Amino acid sequence: MDAWLDEAGQDRTGDAYGAARSAVFAAVRRDGDGPEARRLASLASGARGDVRLWVLRLLADLASGAEDRTAAARTALPLLDDPDPPVRRAAAWLFAEADRAGAEQLLTAPVDHPGAPDPVARLALAEALLVRDGDGLAERLRTDADPAVRLRATPAPEGEAVLEDLDAAGTRIGGPGSRVTWRIGTVWGMKARSSVDESTCYTWVARLAARPTEAARGAAVDLAAEAMHHWRAAPAALVPHLRPLLADPSAGPAAARVLGASLEATRLCREELAEPGADRAEAATLALARIGDVRALPELCRIVRAGSSGWQSAEAARGMAGAPGADLAPLVAAAVAALDLPGPEEAGRALAVLSACGAAAAPAVPELVRILTELPTGQPTGGPRNQRERRLAGNLIAALGAIGPAAAPALPLLDAIPENGPGTRAGHTAMARIQISGDRRRAEETLAGLGDRPRDIALAARILEWLADHGGLDPHHVARLRENAADAERTHPRLLATLWLHTGDAPTGPPLDALLDHVAREGFGPYVCRALATLGPAAAPTLPALRAAADQSVRIPMYLGDHDEEMREDERLAEAIHNTLHRITEPQPKGRRTEGQTA
């Protein structure tokens, strides 16, 4: 138990929490009154503050699926009086999860009643209960004596009384230790998605942004973030209201993060985001890099070298790599330096940056070869550490493949990786060998050994696309493409695009419907759009579906696990769809052909 929690505490990115949670769940559910369960309960009150918060969070997670929650409620109740406010909040969330009726009774009892929780714990109880409650409890709490509780129960920023409560207590909501740290602007934004039209939400943002209090401006920024996550028109509509807040000492850093999270909003505010400001430097740098603004390159190099921005640095590197004339050498050097940071996650992010740089990352090859020689590349064994090392090896192999022929010194090591070694299931190893060697014979041998499993079909699609771009397709390749395309339910979008772009076959019927299905899922949307754009007028049957996708007012769900990233993927997709519509409908020069072009 202590070892699991210690590992989670040492991981500053929080990635180890999931592993610790799984281990604790397994131990406690095996024996709810065993030594691990008793040790967990004791840590809730007898450990240092940060450990107690992790433990209370784990107990709340455990309670949500437990039949008997009385032990969790007994653990939580005395901690509502803990001297540490975050611990009181965490205890309130646990108590609400373990004993909802008791938590509601405690919340609605007179505040001067003996044993009544203090304002911090009462507000946390209200927040925890309202996350899952309908209108009943919220309606009662709108007349509570505490303005923060009244505010949390309010569905929208309408009326002067609500705004006065916001000014008085808005900054108290969503404090540290809460299981869900939604501030009031986030709460209103989530409710607005299903209850009001977008213009009403934009009006709320404008009104809050103009109000001269920290709580109101903070709520404006949070509400705007939710609107931008949901409605495609929100960035353009809300930039005029958020741009002035960049100069606000309290709301400025959050406004920079929200504006910088959107590609469209970043383009509209790029000059303001490029202005110096230590409190928003990282958010502004990542935002500008994502749109390929080379002014972000020096600071992006510092961020990558320090490993301080998580996986966002790889997305920023992809944007920078697409900037015409950008000198990626400093970014590659920074990523190579970051390979020596402690922990496989940091090295994995540095490898993702090198992958984004592609052939420009050639100076990193000697270091990548050195690391590959030190990583386990044999048959898989159990254990979390081995799994992390295998993921790291897979990322490293993918980076070598992205570099291409300049990674030739790695070929002997890649050839020595066994059939079930790292990178083989995802196809990284096979593709790296092909991309580095440029050898069609290797590609043919790998293709011949692939079956009809989904991952084999995906790898076959990549290999056939590579063959088409490196010497063209032979008759047996075309036959394989046509055979795969005939099974519309199992085919892969790369197979269809390669067939239509390189053989002259017309896109039609169920295979075309299957390709269009990938516009809005699995991250293939921009790829599919590029393929259709290259086909030009031959892709005219797709126009109704593309126009319907382009005309959507709400964003297409992406399910990537991060709302900001999902928003940006939808922005990229919407831009790709509009470009594709233009390419399909634009007049074609006489004699123009699309066969043999790549997506």
Best CA proximity match to 242, nearest among 232, 230, 173, 223:
223
Q: Which two tokens stand for residue 54?
A: 């992790």
Count the Cβ atoms, other than its own, within 10 Å of residue 214: 15
pLDDT band of residue 595 (cuts 50, 70, 90) is: very low
pLDDT beyond 70 at 327: yes
Structure tokens at 154: 């309010």
- Mean of pLDDT over the chain: 90
Buried b (16+ CB within 10 A) or exposed e, 549-574: bbeeeebbebeeeebbebbbbbbbbb
What digits encode the pLDDT tens for the residues 274-300?
A: 998 878 889 999 999 999 999 999 999
| Per-residue pLDDT at 135 | 67
- 151: confidence class by pLDDT, cuts 50, 70, 90: very high
With a cut of 80, say whether residue 330 has pLDDT above it: yes
In whole angstroms, give the CA distance from residue 143 to residue 457: 61
Tokens representing residue 577 in the block: 């769809």
Alpha-carbon span 133 to 136, nearest angstrom: 7
Distance (Å, whole) CA 502 – CA 376: 40
Strand partners, 554: 231
Place of tokens 């990229």: 572
pLDDT score for 15: 55
Nearest to 499, CA basis, from 509, 517, 511: 511
For the chain, give percent helix, strand, coil, nearest 5: 70, 0, 30
Backbone phi and psi for residue 497, each to the nearest 5 degrees, phi listed first: -65, -45
Nearest to 443 by CA among 471, 410, 406, 423: 471
Which is higher by pLDDT, 246 or 43?
Answer: 246
Check residue 433 and give its pLDDT: 96
**What pLDDT sits at residue 28?**
76
Average pLDDT on 334-347 reads 89
Give the pLDDT band of residue 590 (cuts 50, 70, 90).
low
Residue 231 β-bridge partners = 554
> pLDDT band at 58, cuts 50/70/90?
confident
377: closest CA among 386, 365, 366, 368? 386
In this predicted structure, the answer to whether residue 186 has a pLDDT above a threshold of 80 is yes
76-80, 114-118, 442-446: the lowest-pLDDT one: 114-118
Query: Quick one: pLDDT band at residue 12, thresholds 50, 70, 90?
Result: very low
Report the C-alpha gap between 589 and 521 in whole angstroms: 33
What's the distance, CA 180 to chain centroid? 18
Mean pLDDT of 170-190: 95
pLDDT at 4 over 70: no
- Reply yes or no on whether the pLDDT at 355 is more than 70: yes
**Residues 461-484 pLDDT 10s:** 999 999 999 999 999 999 999 999
pLDDT of residue 17: 63
* Phi, psi of 326, deg, nearest 5: -70, 135
| Mean pLDDT computed over 452-465 | 94
Confidence of residue 598 (pLDDT cuts 50, 70, 90): very low
Least confident interval from 219-233, 256-270, 409-423, 491-505: 409-423
Structure tokens given for 204 = 């709320």
**Burial of 111 from C-beta contacts in 10 A (0-12 / 13-18 / 19+):** middle
Task: State the pLDDT at residue 16.
Answer: 61
Burial class (CB within 10 angstroms; exposed 0-12, middle 13-18, buried 19+) of 16: buried
Q: What is the pLDDT of residue 374?
A: 87
H helices within 182-339, ranges in order?
A: 184-195, 198-210, 214-230, 234-242, 252-261, 263-268, 270-273, 281-290, 297-306, 312-321, 329-338
Least confident span in 193-207, 251-265, 513-527: 513-527
Q: What's the confidence (pLDDT) of residue 594?
A: 45
> What pLDDT does 280 receive?
86
What pTM did the predictor assign? 0.90
What was the pLDDT predicted at 39? 83
> Which residue did the predictor score with more confidence, 185 or 33?
185
Name which of 459, 455, 453 is nearest 433 in CA terms.
459
Tens-place pLDDT, residues 195-245: 889 999 999 999 999 999 999 999 999 999 999 999 999 999 999 999 999
Give the C-alpha distances (Å, rounded to integers) separating 393 from 132, 430, 456, 504, 544. Answer: 43, 14, 20, 39, 44
